[in-house]
Structure 1
Amino acid sequence: MHVPDGFLNAPVSLATGAVAAGAVAVCLRGARHELGERTAPLAGLVAAFVFAVQMLNFPVAAGTSGHLLGGALAAILVGPCTGVLCLAVVLLMQALLFADGGLSALGTNITLMGVVTVVVGYAVFRALLRVLPGGAVSVATFAAALVSVPASAIAFTGLYAVGGTADVSLGRVFAAMTGVHVLIGIGEAIITTATVGAVLAVRPDLVHGVRDVARPALVIRGGAGAGAARPAPGPGPDSRPRPRPGEPAPSGAAPGASQRSQRSQRSQRSQRSLRPLWLGGLAVTVVCATFVSFYASAEPDGLEKVATDEGIAEEAREHDLADSPLADYGVEDVDNERLSIALAGSAGVAVTLAVGSGVFLTLRRRRHDETTPDRV
């Protein structure tokens, strides 16, 4: 659903650019409170995973395909502010390296595919967790991802009503965009539910969306990722051994030093235990980008199909970086199509992972510096 240059006029493009810039600025601050020592590396991986899976267009109707948007997925896994930043990094890399999504439309794409999907998806997810019996995470995840996609399509239609560059029937555009993106939303929901379920099965403590849910129902019923997971027991205030009546308290280091030592040990253990999940997620990401992407549907995605049918596509301008060596997710001068896609996909994963991880680790360090008192 990447909007190219030329679909929207300059005032609307500037307005969405301002909205996107403001949202990113707010999220840069908000993400500091979401990112912990364990989740900062995970957030970079989430950005790379979204990039890889967006390469996997799947058929949804005759002559139409769709791909993951990823807003609900990122928000549930690493938090809404961090989720917006994940999508912003992905869309920036796609626009600059792969000529996917216009440069003047970058703000529009971040607003539609990042801000709208994250806000709507996370709001639906949290609302359903409060009202569903036992807080059924699988149902809430599926519904959140499903609703977020047509919400983004409706938002595009609203923007086109204000600043569209072609004289078309807005009623037909609304109906076509909503209809096809409901179908794409089903695919989004399946991928999101399976991914969240896989993380819940091994590390439920890392899923941001369920951190404060009391005894969430983490059962994924049917489909990929089926299984049950329970929140990993964590050290609580009552988990320390207490002396029996009449028994002296254990001696040792000062209480403050002992607590700091325990926190340091727990942090080291959690960092080590994150490695298998991170490496496994990276392996899946690389396989998707370098191997599975070759089998992606070549049909136009929902926006491209509607734009062609309704006469909007004629207004599209050629991307300013159309001559990029990685344009259209292939490597220039590599004749073997399979190898070309694999190289482009692996390069995209590497760059997105590096940029995303750099951003999130920097935010994490800044939060640590702000909360650590200066010592004389």
Structure 2
Amino acid sequence: MHLPDHFLSPVVSASAAVVAAGGVTYSLHRARAAASRERLVLASVTTGFVFAAQMVNFSVLPGTSGHFMGGALAAALLGPWLGIVVVSAVLTVQALVFADGGLSALGANVLLMAVVGVAVATGLTALVRKVSGHPLPLLAAGLGAALSVPASALVFCALYAMGGAVPVTLNELVASMVGVHAFIGLGEAAITVAVLALVMALAPGLAFADARAYSPSSLLPGVAGLGAAAVLCGAVLSVAASSNPDGLESVAAAYNFADAAGSHAFASAWFADYGAVSGIPVSVVGVVGTVLAALVAAAVMLPLKRSSSVSPAS
């Protein structure tokens, strides 16, 4: 659901960017409390995985594909604040290096996939705990993932209603966007549950959603398993990804606002369109992007660790 430039009016895009920037800034502030070495290492590897998994489009309907968003998984592994930071880092790298998602639409993309995605997943987790009386992390993460995708689609419809490129009947847009993204949400849930289960099996207590006691010796198996999954997605599964348009692209084509996007400012860059422009094998791009996303996240979050270790008196 990467919005390109010009799907939304400049005013709506700017407004979404302000809200997204506020959400990310507040998340960075709150994330200091969770900035342990283990959590930040896991956050960097999670960023790499989310990037790699987003490269693997999967078929959901005839002629339409979907891809992983990652908000629910990031929240389950890291908590809501680091989760928002992680997904935002992925989206920023995609827009600036791989020409995936418009530059003026970056704020809207962060709002939809990072802020809304994590918020919905976090809310569902709290609801599951309240209703059941138990954390039930896999169930909560799966439900949060399944609902976060159509919820983000619904928020997009609200933004489009406030300033879309082409007049569209709102009821029809909502039905189409939420409908196709409900199917994509099923894939989101399956990936989220599988990866969370992997980390919980390899590193009990490491994930934010895992209430079991944590042993430092489990950090390496946990991040190694998640890193291996990232490489599998970026280097292998990305080659077999569906080439069909994703849910947003399909709806945009159906309602005649796909052409409003125009070309990306970095459309001729070396890694644009994940190597398609320069002829770089997608598997190579997948590995490079996975590592780059992880390094960017580490650079962004390292100051959190330093500030959390400095007492107010110092």
**Same fold per TM (> 0.5)?**
yes
Match of 1:171 in 2: 171
Match of 1:152 in 2: 152
Match of 1:25 in 2: 25
CA–CA separation in structure 2 for the residues paired with 1:311 and 1:333: 29
**Out of 228, 236, 244, which is 1:283 matched to?**
228
CA–CA separation in structure 1 for the residues paired with 2:187 and 2:108: 23
What do the CA deviations read for 1:6-30 (whole angstroms, capped 9, x no partner)? 1000100110110111111101111
Matched, 1:320 2:265: yes
**Out of 301, 308, 311, which is 2:246 matched to?**
301
What do the CA deviations read for 1:149-204 (whole angstroms, capped 9, x no partner)? 00000000000000112012111111000100000000000100111111112223
CA–CA separation in structure 2 for the residues paired with 1:168 and 1:331: 32
Matched, 1:14 2:35: no
* Count of residue pairs the alignment pairs up: 314
- Alpha-carbon contact 2:202-2:225 (below 8 Å) kept: no
**Out of 351, 358, 362, which is 2:292 matched to?**
351
What do the CA deviations read for 1:3-54 (whole angstroms, capped 9, x no partner)? 0001000100110110111111101111111221211100011111000000
CA–CA separation in structure 1 for the residues paired with 2:282 and 2:311: 43
Match of 1:368 in 2: 309
Q: Which moved more, 1:150-159 or 1:196-205?
A: 196-205
Match of 1:261 in 2: none
CA–CA separation in structure 2 for the residues paired with 1:208 and 1:324: 37
Match of 1:78 in 2: 78
Aligned pairs for 1:120-131 within 5 A: 120-131=120-131
User: How far apart are 1:136 and its partner, in Å?
Assistant: 2.5
**What are the ranges of 5 or more consecutive residues in structure 2 without an aligned counterpart?**
none
CA–CA separation in structure 2 for the residues paired with 1:157 and 1:210: 34
User: How far apart are 1:333 and its partner, in Å?
Assistant: 4.0
Secondary structure at 2:205 match in 1: helix
Match of 2:46 in 1: 46
User: How far apart are 1:362 and its partner, in Å?
Assistant: 2.2
Structure 1 329/209 Cα, relative in aligned 2: closer, same or farther at 3 Å?
same
**Alignment-mate amino acid for residue 298 of structure 2:** S
Secondary structure at 2:60 match in 1: strand
What do the CA deviations read for 1:86-140 (whole angstroms, capped 9, x no partner)? 0110000000111000000000000001100000111111211221264332221
Secondary structure at 2:268 match in 1: coil
Provide the alpha-carbon RMSD of the alignment: 1.5
CA–CA separation in structure 2 for the residues paired with 1:97 and 1:25: 22
- Alpha-carbon contact 1:331-1:343 (below 8 Å) kept: no
CA–CA separation in structure 1 for the residues paired with 2:7 and 2:221: 44
Match of 2:187 in 1: 187
Secondary structure at 2:4 match in 1: coil
Aligned pairs for 1:331-350 within 5 A: 332-334=277-279, 340-350=281-291
Structure 1 280/200 Cα, relative in aligned 2: closer, same or farther at 3 Å?
closer
- Tell me the TM-score normalised to structure 2 length: 0.96
- Tell me the TM-score normalised to structure 1 length: 0.80
- Alpha-carbon contact 1:99-1:321 (below 8 Å) kept: yes
**Alignment-mate amino acid for residue 21 of structure 1:** A
- Alpha-carbon contact 1:54-1:69 (below 8 Å) kept: yes
- The alignment-based identity, stated in percent, is 42
User: How far apart are 1:360 and its partner, in Å?
Assistant: 2.0
Aligned pairs for 1:185-224 within 5 A: 185-211=185-211
Matched, 1:138 2:79: no
- Alpha-carbon contact 2:204-2:218 (below 8 Å) kept: no
